[in-house]
Structure 1
Amino acid sequence: MSLTAAGAISEHTVPSEKALSTSDNSFHRNSNVDADSGEGVLSDERDIATNVISVDDDDSLNRGQSVHSYWSCLSNLWRSTGGIYYFKPVLSLMFLAVVSTSWASPWRTFIPRRGLLRYLNPVNQFTLSKNAFIVIMASASANSALGTDVLAVQRLYYNITPNAVTSVFLLFSSQLLGYENFCILLYPSKMLYPGVLPLLSMFDALYEGGMASRKKLRVFSMVHICLGAFPEWIFPLLTGVSIFCLAAPNNATVSRLFGGLLSICFDWQYIAGQVNPMTIPLKAQFSNFLGYIFCAVVFVAVYYNNIWKAQNFPFLSQLLYYENGTQYDQTLILNSNYEVDPTLLAEQGLPYYSSTWVVYLLTQNLSLGALFTHLLLWNRSDISSAWTWMNPSGIKNIWANFDWKFWRADGMRKQDVDGEDIDPHYKQMLKYPDAPNSWYFVVFLLSFVVALVVLYKTDSTLPWWGFLISLLLATIFILFLGALAAITGLSFTIQTFGQMIGGYIQKGSPVANMYFVLYGNNTVFQAQLLLRDLKIAQYAKLPPRAAFTAQIIGTLLGAVLNYIMMNSIIDNQREILLSVEGTNIWSGRQPQMYNSQAIAWGGLSDELFSTGQRYQWVPWAYVLGLFVPVPFWVIHRYWPKLHADYLYTPIILFVTGYLVGGINSFILSYFAVAFLSQWWLRTRYPGWFAKYNYIVAAALDGGTQVMVFILAFAVQGASGTSHLFPTWWGAQGGGNYDHCLTLN
């Protein structure tokens, strides 16, 4: 569904900004930062976008590219490893970029340039935009499809192995439904997408040429080569060094209080596992930091005050339990249709969550409520144009300009923009034909039809009207969650909220709840990834139609690869994926969380979450969250010197429950790197920051990810038996590598 259909601006409208003005001669790097003298601090998003990334575009290369050059990029899809990272903590765009760049020259050298195979050889120069095409296509295929949640849970917890063809079409439809082109979240400079800056900084260093680029490449190469298998395989203790656990390895209290919070992590794959700390703006990092502090305090307080019988259950877990602390057997309360049977439920009793997981549910709903209010108070002007279509004349204009002949729509943008205050990167893109709105509409329509067929062919128990509600929910959230991700680089999920809504509209059906969340939450997630990739195309000056093609082809092939990889890993790592803690190599956190939520919300929403029940405040938290940002907005309006604008209340609330599972030893190292980069370097050495911060971030990500990929298949069991490094003090064979006590 395109922006004009879903709600924002027409493809023929050029968005303007109220930011810093840009003249035509600013199409090289901006001059407010002198990289040699070190003067001038990058103070806002536009400064960063125009100083860190080149605005130049060699349009002769882009315009001359042929279809077969792009088609040749399909050969690089072998590195689409999203299925691996569904059960491992990390995946990076940098991995895709490094591998594609490494393979470009030998591919051009050894593939014939004549005969049938010539269509697989990019005869023309391998340019920045072609490399961007490869990364976008591989990224679309490498993203772990949320549909694997449904398939993995069915295999792990229900002993159901869905039909292969149906499973792949499930992934097709759920991945493509999120392709909605919200242009207002793409074109303005304020929509920076910080997470893609290292990638584009590396591209600039590779393709710009000149002494400055060569210096960048030397820095990149040195950092990239220095990262190896040491922390990941040979010395896994470096994943989290806890002085407290080393001093008292058998003390449960010490492990709970200090096992993750004050550990020091030297493994970059965990430090930057969710997001690279060198890219997130300082304001967002500050709110992130407050959230983690509150998280540690709240978790410990809830546990030691035995709230919700916390001490009966593991400290950090996503599973369901009996009151005595043993794991809840969900199959004993479900009938043959996988619906909750009241008689069986009475025999087993209601399940319990670990109390830290209840805190997680509360903070997720609080943060989503706060998100709406925060953006409407602080960023109303940035997203207001998304509603300009919601009047009779706007709807009439959309209908009049919509070309149903999508196969020949010209999609040309407005050319007369010399006087407009627009983003300089976007201004360079105006010479290329746009991907018409009708293209997005056709993708949405086909995905919609396939999804309906899959729902009934798989006996999902989700009715068609439930499917429509899930899509409506997604459409509402895309704008707000997309805006937050574009500005701060931090992403939210509506999974918990979707499970709550799905549970109340169709009670007693966990499987239906899983499908409801799949088509609701995943649509939001995919829309954010689409916009991120389109921003990469904008920064790299890749024509919009090429970017669209890369995303569609990559997504379709990635669905097949996701399915194959998921089955392979479940076959080889089943017992680890079913365990509470997992290992530092494999983790079943994702399917565990998805399954327990589906049982609790889909099957037992009234019994657990309604008014008067054990977890009644979880759904009410969403309403309470709507009011949280208001006091801070009032404080900043009347007392601006207090800098209440540094507080992103949705981020603070979201992170307050974030550390509920997985490896948490990265926190101290993450914030040490974050504040070193975004405060100390940016303010004290702005020239160095502008030249090298993002290229170093790229090298750290790329080097680590290449090694993780190799180790996953070579020694860690992604394709069969794992081969652990011989046991020694830094790689003990049993228990936790950080010598903290295993908490049951």
Structure 2
Amino acid sequence: MPDELVPAADYTDLHHPGSAEDEKRTYLTDEKDEKSGGTNTFVHTADVDAEEHLHHVQDLEKRIMNGTATDDEAMIRDNHDIAVKVLSTYDDPSLPVLTFRSMFLGLGFSCFAAVLAQLYYFKPQTLTVSQSFLLIMTYFFGKAMEKCLPRRGIFRYLNPGPFNIKEHAACIIMCSTAASSAVAIQVISVQDLFYNNKMNGGVAIFMLISSQCIGYGFAGLLTEICVKPSQALWPSKIPVASVFQALHLEGLGSKRTRFYWYLFAFMFCYEILPQWIFPLLGALSIVCLVNHTSPVLRNIFGGGSNNEGMGLFSWSLDWNYIGSACLYTPLVTQLNQDTGIILTYILMSAMYYGNVWRAKDFPFMSQAIFDGTGAQYNQTALLTDNVFDPVKYEEIGPAWFSATNALFLIVDNLSIGAALVHACLFYGKDLYPLIKSTMSIKNIWKDGWRSFFMEAEEDPSTITDEHLLQMHRSGYRNVPKFWFYLVLLGAFAMAMAMYGQNPQVQAIALLEDLKLGIYIKLPPRITFLYQMLGTVIGAILNYVIMLSVIDQQRDALLSISGTRLWSGQNAQSYNSNAISYGALAQQMFSGSSTYYMVPAALGIGCLLPVPFYILHRFYPNAGFSNVHTAIISQYSCYMSVGVNTSVNPAMVIGVFSQWFVRKRYPRAFTKYNYLFAGALDGGTQVISFILNFAVFGAAGDAHAFPEWWGNDLKYSTDRCLLPDE
């Protein structure tokens, strides 16, 4: 779950499960830790003054960076250690943030990122516009503006000095907010692709903006629970914040900064090989190299192309597919993910080769829906005046999923039910006071109307996050909750034009960047402004690019397998869900239907955490709290879509980094692991962007590398039989 909030215990050693009490160890000291036998670096908040506490924290940070800290002091044991040992709590409140440079770069790269994100939505492997890529590009442009803009005279305000960390972070937050395909774009693209129903442009744009803003409104209301507490760790933001720190706070001469640029340059050059010249490096499968013709071997051992196979024992040397999540996702989370992945191989094989739900009559992996003959289901023939017609349904016959897609829907619902119950059972005691405070009508009134006009005082003794405490010392004003209420109210008003969407994806992305703003010590109101601008820009450009791609690549987007450059898998998956959960819900998911287990899995999932909670109560030190059935379920059909050769190396690298290196070389891990992740992502994403537009056809004609043994176009990338059309 790299892009979701991870459980507070996830960085605790497996033999020493974390608890809410561990999270209270907030202040540094040199007392003996009787529990672990090492040096306990923390005591309770009431024992030490906030100023003295920050002094101790920053002293430890300096010693870790200059190499004088002991292995025990540098050891990462829990979420709190990440916040205060990897990331600096230092802040300079005098640095300008709302500048011409930050606004210009933010707006420019927001447009660029929104266009690129929508192009990626229609690619065979669903890629994202990496924040690491945007960080590097804005850094280069920001430093160039620092050198070129006038510093004196009437235009001196365009260049207030060195391009600083806060300007940089502000424009990154704006453009990364825009750097995703809006959730509601799926509705518009499906209507156009599958039903030839083009939505009115004005209605479409209002729909997109409102869906984004609803997510942002909810994100703002959840900050007390999901952003401000030190337990609320967002792992994907740690490498990004670490890169900011190296580039701006440590200078070009520091070892960490040189390490970053050397590794960045290496990846920039190396990634040309697996992505263009030698694609076999991205998908190595010994089994498929031996046998190119077996569909069984392709399904089990293949995985180099979209919807090809599960990639068992295959290996990838392409970081573009592996990604840095394995380096920053906590060990316990990864072990739960790996458990689910192992189950994937068993469950997907059993479902297909056991011919469950007539599995062999349909492709091994597909997100489309089919009729009884194995052809794609004619959903438009099912409707009369866009309403389900039971007479036509009897003529066409029932709809079918590929077995692996049906399994994915089941385990996805299992994970939802399990996540809700797991959070209540294991973290209910910690969450209840925060939820009660956030949702109380009294507090909404007090923090709403009153704080809209007058800022309420915040008691520093109640702040548990050191970065937030430093921001309080710097005098930054909070965003009143009522601002978020207004955004939410306005978004609902626009949404009354009766679409239905789930804006939680946008809310999660915005919560991540709110936490990044705290790590970098951005004034909250600046973060609010830049996120709102990115939200609006992104929604408008998503719509414009979607229209262009659908008009030019309609045939490829409607094909099951697509092409090497274009795929409609995301739209197909959404359309399948819309038909099945909408028009055919009664026929497909009722108690007597084929797929009744899909909705039933929500209730079953609620039961999954209960046995482990009971065991945890009887044996609190046995590690049962580290069994996250929601994560295991979520990953139990993980390879049902996409390119899967990266799964095995990610599993190995993750355990090597988060267990072996973290335990054996704690100082090196704390100092370099997250910077290492940022450098690999940065170099890979920059060259990926160049290759996409220079040779892969994103800006016109594609220029394939000449065919040779390492780039054999007769088979899939890993030499397996090509997927069924």
Common fold by TM > 0.5: yes
Alignment of 1:688-707 (within 5 A): 688-707=668-687
Shift in alpha-carbon separation, 1:446–1:19, aligned structure 2, 3 A: same
Which residue of structure 1 lines up, in the alignment, with residue 175 of structure 2?
Answer: 138
SS at match of 2:412: helix
Partner of 1:359: 407
Structure 1, 72-81 or 702-711: larger mean CA deviation: 72-81
Larger mean CA deviation between 675-684 and 67-76 belongs to 67-76
Q: 1:72 aligns to what?
A: 104
2:60 to 12, 27, 30: 30
Q: CA deviation at 1:628?
A: 0.5
SS at match of 2:710: coil
Structure 2 equivalent of residue 350 of structure 1: 398
Per-residue displacement from partner, 1:5-60 (whole Å, max 9, x unpaired)?
A: xxxxxxxxxx9995212223134163696845761221011111111111100112
Instruction: Give runs of aligned pairs for residues 175-324 of structure 1, distance below 5 A.
Output: 175-179=212-216, 180=218, 181=220, 182=222, 183-209=224-250, 214-227=254-267, 228-259=271-302, 260-272=311-323, 276-324=325-373
Asked if residue 402 in structure 1 is aligned to residue 444 in structure 2, the reply is no
Question: Counterparts of 1:711 and 1:214 in 2: how far apart (Å)?
Answer: 31
Deviations for 1:192-221, whole angstroms, at most 9, x for unmatched residues? 10110111111111111268x721122111
Shift in Å at residue 648 of structure 1? Answer: 0.9
Alignment of 1:40-59 (within 5 A): 40=72, 41-59=75-93
Please tell me whether the aligned partners of residues 112 and 118 of structure 1 are also in contact (alpha carbons under 8 angstroms). yes
732 and 154 in structure 1: CA distance in 2 versus 1, 3 angstrom threshold: farther
* Range moving further from structure 2, 731-740 or 564-573: 564-573
Alpha-carbon separation, structure 2, partners of 1:565 and 1:108 = 32
TM-score (norm 1): 0.84
Mapped partners of 2:24, 2:315: distance in 1 = 40
Q: Which position in structure 2 is the counterpart of 1:39?
A: 71
Q: Tell me whether 1:441 sits opposite 2:485 in the alignment.
A: yes
Q: Which runs of 5+ in 2 are unaligned?
A: 1-19, 28-52, 303-310
Within 5 A, what are the aligned runs for 1:652-667?
652-667=632-647
How far did 1:353 drift? 0.5
| Corresponding residue pairs, total | 653
| Structure 1 residue matching 2:722: 3-state secondary structure | coil
Cα distance in structure 1, aligned partners of 2:187 and 2:60: 48
Distance 2:624 2:90 in 1: 37
**Which of 408, 414, 428 does residue 380 from structure 1 map onto?**
428
Structure 2 Cα separation of the partners of residues 404 and 719 of structure 1: 52
- What is the distance in 1 between the residues matched to 2:285 and 2:97? 53
Is 43-52 or 26-35 further displaced after alignment?
Answer: 26-35
1:147 corresponding residue in structure 2: 184
Query: Does the CA-based 8 Å contact 2:184-2:207 persist in structure 1?
Result: yes
C-alpha separation in 1, matches of 2:527 and 2:599 = 40
Measure the CA separation in 2 of the matches of 1:302 and 1:289: 20
Q: 1:59 aligns to what SS in structure 2?
A: coil
> What amino acid sits opposite 2:392 in the alignment?
L
Alignment check: 8 A CA contact 1:412 1:432 kept: no
Change (3 A) 1:446 1:371: same
Q: Secondary structure at the match of 2:326?
A: coil
Give 1:397 deviation, angstroms: 4.0
Between the aligned partners of 2:278 and 2:552, the Cα distance in structure 1 is: 24
Give the conservation status (yes or no) of the 8 Å contact 2:416–2:602: yes
Q: Are the equivalent residues in 2 in contact too, given 1:432–1:544 (CA < 8 A)?
A: yes
Deviation at 1:421, TM superposition (A): 6.0
Measure how far apart 1:618 and its partner are.
1.1
Partner of 2:526: 546
Q: Percent identity?
A: 36
What's the secondary structure of 1:278's corresponding residue? helix
2:26 to 21, 26, 34: 21
Separation of aligned partners in 2, 1:116 and 1:321:
67
2:585 alignment partner, SS class:
helix
Indicate whether 1:531 and 2:542 are aligned: no
For 2:406 and 2:134, locate their aligned partners in 1 and report how far apart those are by CA, in whole Å: 37
Aligned residue identity for 1:387: I
**What is the Cα deviation at residue 720 of structure 1?**
2.5
Cα deviation 1:306-332 (Å, max 9, x = unaligned): 111111111011111122212212111
Q: 1:712 and 1:116 mapped to 2: Cα distance? A: 41
SS in 2 for 1:72: helix
How far off its partner does 1:534 sit? 0.6
Identify the residue that residue 164 of structure 1 maps to in structure 2. Answer: 201
2:141 aligned with 1:103: yes
What aligned pairs does 1:417-428 form with structure 2 within 5 A after superposition?
A: 417=460, 419-420=461-462, 422-428=464-470
Match of 1:471 in 2: none
Question: Structure 1's 704 and 401: CA in aligned 2 closer, same or farther, altered over 3 A?
Answer: closer
Q: Which moved more, 1:527-536 or 1:556-565?
A: 556-565
**420 and 77 in structure 1: CA distance in 2 versus 1, 3 angstrom threshold:** closer
The 2-side partners of 1:115 and 1:333 are apart by 70
> How far apart are the structure 2 equivalents of 1:254 and 1:305?
16
Q: Amino acid of the residue matched to residue 291 of structure 2?
A: A
Q: Is the 8 A contact 2:404 2:637 kept in 1?
A: yes
- The residue matched to 2:700 in structure 1 has which SS? coil
User: Match for residue 470 of structure 1?
Assistant: none
Contact 2:438 2:444 in 1 (8 A): no
Output the amino acid matched with 2:406.
Answer: V
Q: Per-residue CA shift, 1:140-169, capped at 9, x if unaligned?
A: 111211122112212221122323222222
State the Cα RMSD in Å. Answer: 2.4
Give, in whole Å, the separation in 2 of the partners of 1:243 and 1:112.
Answer: 59
For 1:486-497, list aligned pairs within 5 A.
none
For the Cα contact (< 8 Å) 2:367–2:573, is it kept in 1?
Answer: yes
Q: d(CA) in 2 for partners of 1:400 and 1:641?
A: 42
SS of equivalent residue, structure 1 residue 411: coil
1:324 alignment partner AA: T
- Between the aligned partners of 1:347 and 1:160, the Cα distance in structure 2 is 24
1:722, CA displacement in angstroms? 2.1
Q: TM-score, normalised by structure 2?
A: 0.86
Give the counterpart letter for 1:310 in structure 2: A
Q: Which blocks of at least 5 consecutive residues in structure 1 are unaligned?
A: 1-14, 456-514
Query: 2:151·2:160 contact (CA, 8 Å) conserved in 1?
Result: yes
Partner AA of 2:391 in structure 1: T
Give 1:264 shift.
0.4
Q: What secondary structure sits across from 2:449 in the alignment? A: coil
Structure 2 CA distance for aligned equivalents of residues 669 and 38 of structure 1: 31
1:625 positional shift? 0.7
Alpha-carbon distance, 1:66 to partner = 4.5
C-alpha contact 1:572 1:720 (8 A) present in aligned 2: no
Distance 1:154 1:292, change over 3 A: same
- Partners of 1:114 and 1:139 lie apart in 2 by 32
Does the aligned pair in 2 maintain the 1:29–1:54 contact within 8 Å? no
Q: Is the 8 A contact 1:363 1:621 kept in 2?
A: yes
Deviation at 1:566, TM superposition (A): 2.0
Q: How many angstroms apart in 2 are the aligned matches of 1:112 and 1:167?
A: 42
Q: Contact (CA 8 Å) 2:149, 2:159: kept in 1 or not? A: no
Query: 1:16 and 1:669, CA in 2 relative to 1: closer, same or farther beyond 3 A?
Result: closer
User: 1:111 and 1:24 mapped to 2: Cα distance?
Assistant: 37
Q: How far apart, in 1, do the equivalents of 2:629 and 2:609 lie?
A: 6
- In structure 2, the CA distance between the partners of 1:33 and 1:286, relative to structure 1 (3 Å rule), is farther
For the structure 1 residues 114 and 571, does the alpha-carbon distance in structure 2 shift closer, same or farther, using more than 3 Å as the test? farther
Over 3 Å counting, the alpha-carbon distance change for 1:140 and 1:632 in structure 2 is: same
- In the alignment, residue 146 of structure 1 is paired with which amino acid? V
Letter in 2 for 1:356: T
C-alpha separation in 2, matches of 1:69 and 1:706: 22
